[in-house]
Chain A
Amino acid sequence: MLWLHTWLIGIKSVLLHPLRSLLTVLGIFIGVASVIWLLAIGAGISQKAQEQIEGLGADNIIVRSVKPAKAPDGSTSFILPYGLLRADYDILVETIPTIRGALPIREMRREVRYGQRELLARVVGCTPEYAAITQLEIDRGHFISDAELQLEKNHCVLASNVVDTLFPYKDPIGRRIYLPEAQDYYKIVGILKYRAPTAAIGGSLAAQDFSQDVYIPITTLRRRLGDTVVVRRGGSREGETVELNQITLQIDGIENVMKTADLVQQTLDRRHSKLEDVVVIVPKELLEQAETTRIMFMVFMGVIAGISLLVGGIGIMNIMLATVMERTREIGVRRALGATRSDIVLQFLIETTVLSVAGGLVGILGGAVCPYAVSGLRNILTSYASDLVSTLPQLVQEVTPILHPTYFALAFLISVVVGILFGVYPAIRAAHMDPIEALRHG
C-alpha cells in the first residue's frame, strides 16, 4: 500500500462528499475552537481572580511586633523595649532574595486637632509604597512622596473619616493639623478616598479599619515622635519603645510565600530569641483560596472541553459509520483486488485524519479570534443591553482572554487524537466486512 496514494485517495474521498465533510469538519472546528476559547477565557478569569486575591495580600508576609507577656528578667526600667528593629528590616531585605519589596510601618494612637475639632487618630509612619501595597486610593493631592520621606517633612495624608471629622466645611489641602502631644503641626498634602474596613480573613489577617488614619513619612515620625511611647495608667507610668510595628514583605510570587516565610521566621528567631516579641503572619487562607480557585478553574475547563470534544468525536464516528456503510461496495471491490484488512483500516483512518486535521486547523483560526470576539461581544452588549451587563460579576465583565501557544497545540492534538480514536471503530468495522457480502451490497 502506497502512502501517497492512500493520502490522495483519502482527500479525494473527503472531497467527493463536500457537504458531509464540511459538517464533520464543522463538528471538529467547534470542538477545537471551544477548547481554545475555554482555555483562554478560563485563563483570563483565573488570572483576574488571582490578581484579586493577590490584591488582598496573598503575596504578602506580614511581620508584626507583639508586646511580650512579661518583661525580661532583670529589667528595672518601666519602659519596655520590644519588637521589630530597623536592623531587622535591613537584614531581611538584604539577605532574602525572594523579597521584592518591604514596607516598614510604625503606628501610634495620637490625638489630632484642627481648631476646636479633635480626633483620636492612628498616626501611621510609612513609606511612599504603602499606598500601592495597601491599595489606598488618593482622592485629591498626593500620597507621601520620596522627597518628603528624604527630607523628613511635616506633611501628612488624611483618611476620609479624619477629613469628615476635622474639616466638615473646609478644604483640608494645604492646611495644618496639630498634634498636641508632640506640639507639632503637619501640613495636609493629600486626602484619601473612603475605604471600607477589611474584614478579617480566616485566622491569619485581622480586620483593619483605615478610616481614622493619618499618614506621615516614617522618617518624620521617628524624628518628631520618637520610638518611645509613655502612657499614664492609674498613677503609674508605663512605657514602651518600639522601632517598627510592622514590616510588610512583598514576595516575588505566590508560590514562594511559604518558603520565604520560613526563612523570615528563622532569621527573626535568631535575633529575637530572648523575648517572643515578633510574629510572622502568612496569609494561609488566601494562599489556599488562590490555589483552590486555580484548580477549580482547571477542572471546570477540563470538564467542558472534554464534553465538547466528546461531541465532536461522536460526530466523526457517526459520519464515518455512514461513510463506511455507503462505501461497502467499494470496500468489497478493494478487498477483491487484494487489499488486506489493515489496508482498509488505514484507508478509513486516513480519511478521519484528513477530516480532523482540517477541522483542527480551522478550529485554531476560530480560537485565535477569541480575544477580539470577546471584546466585540462586550461592546455590543454594553451598548444594547447595559443593564444586563451590569448585573454580571465584575470578573466576567472585565475578563480578557489569554491565548497561549500551548492551547492551540493542545486543542489541535486532542482533536486529531479524538478524530482518530473515534474513527477506529468504523474503520475496523469496514475491514471486517465479508468481501463477498460487501460486493453484493447495493
Chain B
Amino acid sequence: MQLAARIHELTKDYVLKGETVRALRGISLEIPDGDYVAIMGPSGSGKSTLLNLIGCLDRPTSGCLQLGDDDVSSMNDGQLSRIRASRIGFVFQSYNLIPQLNVLENIEVPLYYRGRITRLERSRCRELADLVGLSDRLKHRPQQLSGGQQQRVAIARSLANDPCFILADEPTGNLDTGTTKDILDLLDDFHRAGKTMIIVTHEKEVATRARRIIRLRDGRIDESLVQ
C-alpha cells in the first residue's frame, strides 16, 4: 500500500525558559494513504508537536519524516511552505479564520500561496462552501458566523488546495455536542472521499471515528489501536 507518511525515530527538543523540553523522544509510525488516525494522550504528551511536524510547521531535531516521496525533515523554510501550500490542509481548534475576509475569500486563501488561481479552482471553492452547507453565507465575515459555521469554513478552506492530508488539532474542542457531531460527519465525508485524516483529540467520541488510535505518553507511542 502507498504510504502517505513514514515517520522514523522522530525526536523534537525545544528550549523553554532555558530548559530543554524533550517533546518527542523517538516516534516511528507509518500512515497509509487514506488512513484516519486519531492521536490521543494527556496534555504535554507531544500530540500537537507531532501534528506540527507532520504539518511541516516545524522541523524535527532528529529522525526522518517522509511525506509521500519527499523527506521533509531536512527542508528549509521556503520548501516547507511550498509543501504546506500544496499538500496539507489544517483545521484548528479555534477556527483561525482571517477576520477581514469573507467566507469565500477565507476558503480561497490557500490557493493564493500556490501561485495562480484558475477559474476552475475558484468555482471549486464555491462548491466546497456548498458542501459544508454555507453557500448562502459566502459574503459573511467570520464574526457574523457561529462557532460551528466558522469551523465548517475552516474545513472547506483546508480542502481548497486539494491536499493529501487534513490535519486537525482538537477541531471540536470549542463546540457543543450537536455541532461536534456535524463537524465529525463532515470530516468523515471527506475521509471517505479519499483524504488522509489525522486528528489530535482527547475526546473519546471523536477518536472512535478513526480507523486507528495512537496514544502518546511522554513523547513516545504508548499504544496503537486499530479499530
Contacts and interface: CB of A to CB of B under 8 A. Distances in A.
A340 interface: yes
B77 A341 contact: yes
B96 A439 contact: yes
A88 interface: no
A359 to B, nearest CB: 21
Interface in A1-36: 1-2, 5-6, 9, 12-13, 16
Interface in B98-124: 98-101, 109-110, 112-117
Given A12-B101, A436-B52, A439-B92, A339 B81 contact: yes
A51 to B, nearest CB: 56
Interface in A314-350: 329-330, 332-341, 343
A2 B117 contact: yes
A435 interface: yes
B47 interface: no
A337 B90 contact: yes
A339 B81 CA distance: 6
Nearest to B79: A340
A354 to B, nearest CB: 13
A343 B113 contact: yes
Nearest to B86: A338
B178 interface: no
Contact of A339 (B88, B99, B100, B113): B113
A113 B78 CA distance: 101
Nearest to B95: A333
A337 B110 contact: yes
Contacts of B117: 2
Most-contacted residue by chain A among B92, B99, B113 (CB, 10 A): B113
A2 B112 contact: yes
A337 B109 contact: yes
B22 to A, nearest CB: 17
B85 interface: yes
Given A2-B112, A340-B113, A9 B100 contact: yes
B100 A340 contact: no
Contact of A338 (B92, B114, B116): B114
Contact of B157 (A12, A337, A341): A337
Contacts of A435: 57-58
B57 A334 contact: no
Nearest to B167: A336
B77 A333 contact: no
B84 interface: yes
Contacts, number: 73
B175 to A, nearest CB: 19
A117 B156 CA distance: 112
Nearest to B96: A333
A326 to B, nearest CB: 11
Nearest to A17: B100
Most-contacted residue by chain A among B85, B97, B116 (CB, 10 A): B85
Given A5-B112, A343-B113, A338 B98 contact: no
Contacts of A436: 52, 57-58
B91 to A, nearest CB: 10
Nearest to B93: A439
A432 B58 CA distance: 13
Interface in B136-179: 157, 161
B211 interface: no
B116 A336 contact: no
Contacts of B115: 1-2
Given A2-B112, A9-B100, A16-B99, A340 B58 contact: no
A338 B110 contact: yes
A338 B78 contact: no
A340 B78 CA distance: 6
A12 B110 contact: no
Contact of B100 (A5, A12, A337): A12
Given A340-B77, A341-B78, A439-B92, A1 B84 contact: no
Contacts of B88: 338
B57 A338 contact: no
A141 B208 CA distance: 115
A432 to B, nearest CB: 9
B55 interface: yes
B82 interface: yes
B82 A336 contact: no
B128 to A, nearest CB: 14
Contact of B55 (A9, A16, A330, A336): A336
B77 A1 contact: no
A1 B100 contact: no
Top 9 nearest A-B pairs (CB, nearest first) are A338-B85, A338-B113, A340-B81, A337-B110, A338-B84, A333-B96, A16-B100, A336-B90, A12-B100
Interface of A: 1-2, 5-6, 9, 12-13, 16, 329-330, 332-341, 343, 435-436, 439
